[in-house]
Structure 1
Amino acid sequence: MTVDTAPAAPVTTRPAPPPARRRRVRPGRLGVHAFLMAVSLAFLAPLLLAVYASLRPYDETSKYGYFSLPKHLSFDYYKQAFSDSGMTKYFVNTMIIAVPGVLVTLFLASFVAFAVSRLRLRGGIVLLMLFTAGNLLPQQVIVTPLYVLFNRIPLPYWMSDSMTMFDSYWAVILVHIGFQIGFCVFVLANFMRTLPQEILEAAIVDGAGVWTQYWRITLPLCRPALAALATLQFTWMYNDFLWALVFMSDGDKLPVTSALNNLRGQFFTDYNLLAAGSVIVALPTILVFLLLQRHFIAGLTLGSSKG
């Protein structure tokens, strides 16, 4: 009895991959990274110094200097700054101004940008130029005309205690919207021009109206740009103090930036306490940036690559 055995298939071995070559680090790249690190430290130095000073007692820094090694660190100044300045009330005032201001600005700007860039609107380029030119006007130039105008615009009592636009949140919100909408229109219009026109053409074939094209098709595609603008707008409106100081006479309506004035004494100012208050005031803007960081960076890098 014979058993036929087929010849075994030859075993082929794949050649081992060549060892990975180390990428040479160019001196120019090292120089760029060193420059970026130096610039980052230069921008962070004031904030780091404020945090460092807020953790030290004033007697220690006045004796040894702000750049000396610490002997005692604590969060006592943060508790004192939050309680002495009444920041809770001022934080609420700032949210009343900043949150509606950001939402209304982005809504109006996105609607105008959609009309200018996506619809065949006659004179759209001229309209875009007018909105952009509005940013070139110095804000301080119209402080006096706006002050006179807001004192003459009547409002019902439930909208303003003063019965006028002056000394109300409406005045500050409208000023922020008026000055920031031009920049947002310019950014969103240029972003919407990069969106494929075929998307809207397909929606029109399916019977979508103008509102559907804007709200359900175009606006979701603009999420990175809207997030980046929301971060910038909230930071600008949150940190502003000029318009509230001009258009509000009631100290209980002022934003949180005014709370720092409550930490200044008449004859003596504890700058370590003031530094703690400044850090507390800056925390909401840092929190907003951290929450929208991914969308903010995506909005900044739009158009940097193709494909």
Structure 2
Amino acid sequence: MSIATARTAGNDTTILSRSGSRPKRHYGTHIFLVAMAVMWLVPLGWALFTALRPVASTNEHGYFSVAGDFNFDNFVQAWTQGGFATYFWNSVIITVPAVLLTLFLASLMAFAVSRVNWKFNITLLIMFTAGNLLPPQVLAAPLFEMAKHLEVPYSFSDSGNLLNTYIVVIAIHVAFQMGFCTFVLSNYMKALSPDLTEAALVDGAGIWRQYREIIMPLCRPAFAALGTLEVIFIYNDYFWPLLFIQSGNRLPITTAINNLQGQFLSNYNLLAAGAVITVIPTLVIYLLLQRQFVAGLTLGSSKG
């Protein structure tokens, strides 16, 4: 065999091996993901489309048409008529402390059960995880009675108890969200190398310093992912504020849509505008933390 023939055969073999190592195209997976994305986006797109149309155009041409005018009048009317500025501020007062307290307390518990060897770490982790299996609404009646009969100074609450206060709603959210956050953070912390804290311990770092200066900075992707999820969960909650807060000017933004309901007729274009307004804050938070959110979800996916 000549040298030229050998080179040609070698090149053909290289090309064949390269072509054989091409990744397979998963058309079925792509089609499924596109279909799921469309299913999720169609309701949001339809709500935005309805919110941009005046009710007169909808009544004249019908919902399934593109004829008529398009403007932002429904958004302006929903914001003013529904009192969204006040309700949005109420949501901020409830959501921000609840998320910060949940992440802080869950990080302490996760550090204790994952990075510290003691007798009841696994037992406590199981208890926190098992608490997520109980539907929170089952405890609605006893929690309401507890808040009703727990007396507090009138300087703290105008009702003399915990009802009609932001504190009780924040406490409920923290209590029910801590189990999920503890479970996620403990698994995240277990994936960190034990050499980090062992080396710090040799250098004389105590438990609090290990937690504050070593573990917490490494958990930023997990905090970003959990923070995004917790903001969405707590911000969108409708049940607990409606149960514990009886004063209309203290309710969160999820209940403001009720102010857009007519006594005899409902303007669905106006309701759609109000629903779109309530979605905007969570969408902005997700877009701002998107990179950290994805990094927190995919961490460890390449380990094997």
TM-score between both structures, scaled by the size of structure 2: 0.91
In structure 2, the residue matched to 1:287 is 284
Deviation at 1:67, TM superposition (A): 2.3
Q: Does 1:180 align with 2:177?
A: yes
Q: Deviations over 1:261-289 (max 9, x none)?
A: 00000011110011001000110000110
Deviation at 1:21, TM superposition (A): 6.9
In structure 2, the residue matched to 1:14 is none
Tell which deviates more after alignment, 297-306 or 102-111.
Answer: 297-306
Deviation at 1:60, TM superposition (A): 1.9
Instruction: Map 1:239-250 to 2 at 5 A.
Output: 239-250=236-247
Find the partner of 1:157 among 154, 158, 178.
Answer: 154
In the alignment, is the contact (CA less than 8 A) between 1:151 and 1:166 conserved in 2?
yes
Find the partner of 2:136 among 130, 134, 139.
Answer: 139
- CA–CA separation in structure 2 for the residues paired with 1:179 and 1:48: 32
- Structure 1: runs of 5 or more not aligned: 1-17
The SS at the match of 2:294 is: helix
Identity across the alignment (%): 51
In structure 1, the residue matched to 2:163 is 166
Find the partner of 1:219 among 216, 221, 232.
Answer: 216
Q: Does 1:122 align with 2:126?
A: no
Deviation at 1:167, TM superposition (A): 1.1
- CA–CA separation in structure 2 for the residues paired with 1:158 and 1:280: 34
- CA–CA separation in structure 1 for the residues paired with 2:123 and 2:22: 51
Corresponding letter in the other structure for 1:164: N
Q: Does 1:198 align with 2:185?
A: no
In the alignment, is the contact (CA less than 8 A) between 1:81 and 1:263 conserved in 2?
yes
Find the partner of 1:263 among 260, 265, 268.
Answer: 260
The SS at the match of 2:191 is: coil
Corresponding letter in the other structure for 2:165: S
Task: Report which of the two structures shows the higher radius of gyration computed on alpha carbons.
Answer: 1
The SS at the match of 2:132 is: helix
- Structure 2: runs of 5 or more not aligned: 1-13
**Structure whose residues are more often helix by fraction:** 2
Find the partner of 1:30 among 27, 30, 39.
Answer: 27
- CA–CA separation in structure 2 for the residues paired with 1:153 and 1:258: 26
Corresponding letter in the other structure for 2:167: W
Corresponding letter in the other structure for 2:160: M
Q: What is the Cα-based RMSD across aligned positions, in Å?
A: 1.8
- CA–CA separation in structure 2 for the residues paired with 1:294 and 1:84: 36
Tell which deviates more after alignment, 71-80 or 193-202.
Answer: 71-80
In structure 1, the residue matched to 2:63 is 66
Deviation at 1:241, TM superposition (A): 1.1
Find the partner of 2:100 among 77, 100, 103.
Answer: 103
In structure 2, the residue matched to 1:3 is none
TM-score between both structures, scaled by the size of structure 1: 0.90
In structure 2, the residue matched to 1:5 is none
Tell which deviates more after alignment, 157-166 or 120-129.
Answer: 157-166
In the alignment, is the contact (CA less than 8 A) between 1:166 and 1:247 conserved in 2?
yes
Deviation at 1:63, TM superposition (A): 3.1
Corresponding letter in the other structure for 2:263: Q
Find the partner of 2:43 among 28, 43, 46.
Answer: 46
Corresponding letter in the other structure for 1:281: T
In the alignment, is the contact (CA less than 8 A) between 1:117 and 1:193 conserved in 2?
yes
Deviation at 1:64, TM superposition (A): 2.5
In structure 2, the residue matched to 1:15 is none
In the alignment, is the contact (CA less than 8 A) between 1:56 and 1:70 conserved in 2?
no
The SS at the match of 1:268 is: coil
- CA–CA separation in structure 1 for the residues paired with 2:62 and 2:209: 62
In structure 2, the residue matched to 1:80 is 77
In the alignment, is the contact (CA less than 8 A) between 2:245 and 2:251 conserved in 1?
yes
- CA–CA separation in structure 1 for the residues paired with 2:166 and 2:98: 10
